[in-house]
Amino acid sequence: MFFFPLFDDNPSRRTPYISWLIIAMCVLIFVWQQSLGPQGEQYAFYSYGFVPAHVSGAAPLPAQLVVLPAWATAISSMFLHGGLMHIGGNMLYLWIFGDNIEDSMGPLKFIIFYLLCGMAAAAAQFAIDPASRIPMVGASGGIAGILGAYLILHPKAAIRTLLVILVFIRFINLPAWLVLGVWIGGQFVAVPNALANDGGGVAYFAHIGGFIAGMVLVPFFKHRDIPLFGADDAPPARWDGQPVPFSTIRAQASAKYRGRRNALGSRVESPDRNAPPHQAATDQEHRTDQEKTQKSDLWAGPRRKSSGSVPRHRRKTRD
């Protein structure tokens, strides 16, 4: 059994330009990687990826591969990816969860937050094995920080999720705390296997380090009027795990990605920070009254009846 999120019901108040910019940069750099060929791409991983042994001085890279200061590769590695599935999964999570975190702190602080989480992820991987010669690449550390921040800010937000059990495929509605809790739990479960395997693979410690950094940092980066633990978020009508028809998923996804705010309708938005106090209060009361008297037809879904070539450097680590 596995599941992964498709989109959330948590509208943001601003266009997430920085999240989109990160996605565009990662995609363009991935296209550049593919143009290098296998050997050229491998050299790029060592030149711009995070190699713990090079950072610690245990096994410095050959001079021709050193392009940046060792510490700076903790940042440059966040824009490289090890394959199509790697970048696809990372960008999906950034697309779903990045807009709300960017909205909660503003563009400039979001950039700093994202880079700090990525550096914390690299530091966590470095602490486990500072003599590792395997380059770590991927945006997962920074994105894990976004997931940790989302768990702190919007644990009650509903996530449309694709659930696969053997040959059975279902679309279901799950709370963010469950989706993200299962994700970070899976990283901890995979740790023993990661410790036993020194030949590369997924950098689970980087994921854990980034996630924890996001949880710790978000209270200091968010705007003051953004409450913790979803105090302004109203939970959706149901989290019962009932299957959702594909037609409903398609309609909701269309509304979500065309930017129709409140199209999914389960979040109570905070008042506009730029509005006059009396107007903000009036707007908030109006939204609250609407929330009490209306439910989103889209989110509720259909009505149901009452019945119920570097020597000794071979593989890369993906974070």
Closest CA to 249 of 158, 165, 172: 172
Q: Are 311 and 130 in contact (CB under 8 A)?
A: no
Range with lowest mean pLDDT among 143-157, 164-178, 225-239: 225-239
Tell me the HSE value of 253 on the side-chain side, using a 13 A CA sphere: 16
pLDDT (tens digit, 9 = 90+) per residue, 19-63? Answer: 999 999 999 999 999 999 888 889 999 999 999 988 888 888 888
pLDDT (tens digit, 9 = 90+) per residue, 86-145? Answer: 899 899 999 989 999 999 999 999 999 999 999 999 999 898 888 888 888 989 999 999
Rounded Cα distance between 102 and 109, Å, is 8
Asked if pLDDT for residue 190 goes beyond 90, the answer is no
Report the CATH number at residue 81.
1.20.1540.10
Residue 318 falls inside a structural domain? no
Helix axes 107-128, 84-105, angle to 10 degrees: 130
pLDDT (tens digit, 9 = 90+) per residue, 252-282? Answer: 666 666 654 444 444 444 444 445 544 444 4
Return the bridge partners of 2, or none: 164
Q: What is the DSSP letter of 237?
A: S
Interior/surface letters 220-251, b for 16+ CB within 10 angstroms, e for the rest: ebbeeebeeebebbeebeeeeeeebeeebbee
Say what the pLDDT of residue 212 is. Answer: 95
Asked if pLDDT for residue 288 goes beyond 50, the answer is no
8 vs 144, residue with greater confidence: 144
Rounded Cα distance between 122 and 107, Å, is 23
Q: What's phi and psi for 29, nearest 5 deg?
A: -70, -35
Closest CA to 86 of 141, 38, 43, 46: 141
Q: Are 207 and 93 in contact (CB under 8 A)?
A: no
Beta strand extents in 89-137 (DSSP E only) = 136-137
Residue 296 falls inside a structural domain? yes
Residue 15 falls inside a structural domain? yes
Residue 167 falls inside a structural domain? yes
Q: What's phi and psi for 123, nearest 5 deg?
A: -65, -40
Rounded Cα distance between 144 and 142, Å, is 5
Q: Please tell me the total count of domains within the chain.
A: 1
Return the bridge partners of 5, or none: 161
Residue 167's domain comprises 2-300
The two structure tokens encoding residue 6: 């498709």
Place of tokens 């690449």: 137
Asked if pLDDT for residue 214 goes beyond 90, the answer is yes
Residue 35 falls inside a structural domain? yes
Rounded Cα distance between 117 and 291, Å, is 35
Q: What's phi and psi for 22, nearest 5 deg?
A: -60, -45
Mean pLDDT of 203-217: 91
Say what the pLDDT of residue 210 is. Answer: 93
Residue 97 falls inside a structural domain? yes
Rounded Cα distance between 58 and 37, Å, is 29
Rounded Cα distance between 221 and 258, Å, is 28
Rounded Cα distance between 59 and 179, Å, is 39
Say what the pLDDT of residue 161 is. Answer: 82
Residues near 99 by Cβ (< 8 Å), separated by ≥ 6? 12, 16, 19
6 vs 202, residue with greater confidence: 6
Rounded Cα distance between 258 and 108, Å, is 25
Asked if pLDDT for residue 150 goes beyond 90, the answer is yes
Over pLDDT 70: what percentage of the chain? 69
Residue 147 falls inside a structural domain? yes
Specify burial of residue 13 (Cβ count, 10 A radius: 0-12, 13-18, 19+). Answer: middle
Residue 316 falls inside a structural domain? no
